[in-house]
Amino acid sequence: MAEFKKAESTLEWFDQRLGVTNLYKVMMSEYWIPKKINFLWAMGVILVMLFKILLISGIFLLMYYKPDVNLAFDSVNYTIMQEVGYGWLMRHIHAVGASVVFLVIYIHMFTGIYYGSYKKGREMIWISGMLLFVLFSAEGFSGYMLPWGQMSYWAAYVITEIFGGIPFIGDELVVWIRGNFYVSDATLTRFFMLHVLLIPLAILGAIAFHFYALRFPHVNNEDGEFFDFDEEAEKYLAGNKKESKVVPFWPVFLSKDFMVLGFFMIFFFYLVFYHYSFAMDAINFDKADGLKTPAHIYPEWYFLWSYEVLRGFFFDIAGISGKDLGLIAFAIANGIFLVFPWLDRSPLVKPANQRPYFKYWFWLLIADLIVLTIYGKLPPTGVNAWVGFFSSMTFLILFALLPVITKMEAKKVGGE
């Protein structure tokens, strides 16, 4: 057993037992961040804050929500919204937060793609980030069902039906997920458990893993420049702060993040108080009715692009049904980003505007995703259906061409 000397202060007492000083150095004061970065690098801190907001507002909502098909709708729309003091505020904060968190996730994700922050040792940062995206998507979908409105019910029906397309086990899997042959009370309680317990725990673990993965290859910078972090850190600690290319995570980097966070929170609460309706579909204020199908079923805006890929194939091709083609395309669309570091065959780590071919690919992808999102909310009839089909095909073709384009780019810039 190690010998302990009498501590001279509370900090020293904890330091002897938990090594808090070393932890502070490793995680804060001697965790080095590139100096040349912009406000887009603050998205990670904003996401952590949004997760905290969702967690706290969710706990308040949990006090009054009833996970029962006969009580859920009224517990949200009457008890919370009309009877509980400031219950409306908690719901608005939770609804807006659930929507805005995906806006920030997409900005964070495409910032990483734009600046090549998934290359040369940063693959695990990307994979852990995509794991978080999947978990937040599951959290968003499970939460969308809880108000037990019309769109909640039928979106749950459509999304769970997707699993029926899995060969051999599809039908049994759908019944297992729902807890019944149709969306019912068992489905609601299962999704309630996932939303309030299992998925949040998994998100906390994935956040810890994501931060851990960041510690080794270090954070990327605007120019994709590689340098010796230890050497630059020595310059900073020696007082040569202007020439050093790094700054400590705390207080320098994090104080800048807090400034961006401050502006973001103004925007967030502006939405909460004045434009919250975008986060709560009007159809969902009608109680769920399994005998009355809405004229047009669609998910929340952050799932519309993948939903449009799912339904984009509305006719058979080469003997394969449109439904099966849509399921295959949907699976590819939702899994392709996970292997993105290996699809980009160029060793060049530069922002997209400095890459001769990739910059066109990147902006075509953004434009296509916007089209998919817009048309994902429109009825799939007439011209809408064909726009959905061609934009879905464009999405798949862009990713099929990515290895070819980046290979050509590597040859052009002398990467090989």
389 inside domain: yes
What one-character DSSP code corresponds to residue 354?
A: G
Residue 318, by phi and psi: left (phi above 0), alpha (psi -120 to 50) or beta? left
CATH at 134: 1.20.810.10
Q: Specify whether 381 is located in the same domain as 283.
A: no
Q: Can you tell me the distance from the alpha carbon of 24 to that of 213, in angstroms, rounded to the nearest whole number?
A: 18
22 inside domain: no
Q: What is the pLDDT of residue 335?
A: 93
Q: Specify whether 278 is located in the same domain as 348.
A: no
Query: What is the torsional sign of CA 34, 35, 37, 39?
Result: positive
Q: Specify whether 86 is located in the same domain as 110.
A: yes
What distance lies between CA 123 and its chain's CA centroid? 17
pTM of the model: 0.94
Q: Specify whether 326 is located in the same domain as 268.
A: no
Domain boundary among 291, 320, 342: 291
179 inside domain: yes
User: DSSP letter string over 29-95?
Assistant: IT-EEESS--GGGGHHHHHHHHHHHHHHHHHHHHTT---STTTHHHIIIIIIIIISTTHHHHHHHHH
Q: Give the pair of three-digit tokens for residue 172.
A: 């049994």
Q: What percent of the chain has pLDDT over 90?
A: 74
**Alpha helices (H) along 275-382:** 304-311, 322-335, 340-343, 358-376
Cα distances from 65 to residues 73, 74, 80, 157, 334, in angstroms, run: 9, 9, 8, 22, 32
| pLDDT tens per residue across span 17-65 | 888 888 888 888 888 999 989 999 999 999 999 999 999 999 999 999 9
Report the domain count for the chain. 2
Of 214, 257, 255, 27, residue with least CA distance to 117: 214
1 inside domain: no
23 inside domain: no
Cα distances from 154 to residues 39, 359, 377, in angstroms, run: 39, 39, 14
Q: What is the pLDDT of residue 415?
A: 47
Q: What is the pLDDT of residue 265?
A: 97
Domain boundary among 235, 268, 291: 291
Task: State yes or no: pLDDT of 210 exceeds 70.
Answer: yes
Lowest mean pLDDT, pick from 52-61, 76-85, 293-302, 351-360: 293-302
Of 362, 339, 369, residue with least CA distance to 409: 362
Q: What is the pLDDT of residue 2?
A: 62
What one-character DSSP code corresponds to residue 6?
A: P
| pLDDT tens per residue across span 93-123 | 999 999 999 999 999 999 999 999 998 889 9
Residues 6+ apart with CB under 8 A from 262: none
108 inside domain: yes
149: β partners: 287
- Domain extent at residue 151: 29-291
209 inside domain: yes
Q: Specify whether 257 is located in the same domain as 304.
A: no
Q: Can you tell me the distance from the alpha carbon of 324 to that of 326, in angstroms, rounded to the nearest whole number?
A: 5
Q: Can you tell me the distance from the alpha carbon of 10 to that of 131, in angstroms, rounded to the nearest whole number?
A: 39
Lowest mean pLDDT, pick from 13-17, 298-302, 353-357, 360-364: 13-17
Task: State yes or no: pLDDT of 147 exceeds 90.
Answer: yes
Q: Specify whether 343 is located in the same domain as 194.
A: no
Predicted confidence band at 7 (pLDDT cuts at 50, 70, 90)?
Answer: confident
Q: Specify whether 313 is located in the same domain as 233.
A: no
Predicted confidence band at 303 (pLDDT cuts at 50, 70, 90)?
Answer: very high
In angstroms, the first-to-last Cα distance of the chain is 56
User: H or E stretch including 348?
Assistant: none
Task: State yes or no: pLDDT of 279 exceeds 80.
Answer: yes
Task: State yes or no: pLDDT of 324 exceeds 50.
Answer: yes
Query: Mean pLDDT of all residues in the chain?
Result: 92
User: H or E stretch including 27?
Assistant: none
Task: State yes or no: pLDDT of 1 exceeds 70.
Answer: no
Task: State yes or no: pLDDT of 416 exceeds 50.
Answer: no
10 inside domain: no
Q: Specify whether 376 is located in the same domain as 231.
A: no
Q: Specify whether 285 is located in the same domain as 302.
A: no
Q: Specify whether 224 is located in the same domain as 339.
A: no
Q: Specify whether 227 is located in the same domain as 154.
A: yes
Q: Specify whether 354 is located in the same domain as 218.
A: no
Domain boundary among 270, 291, 312: 291
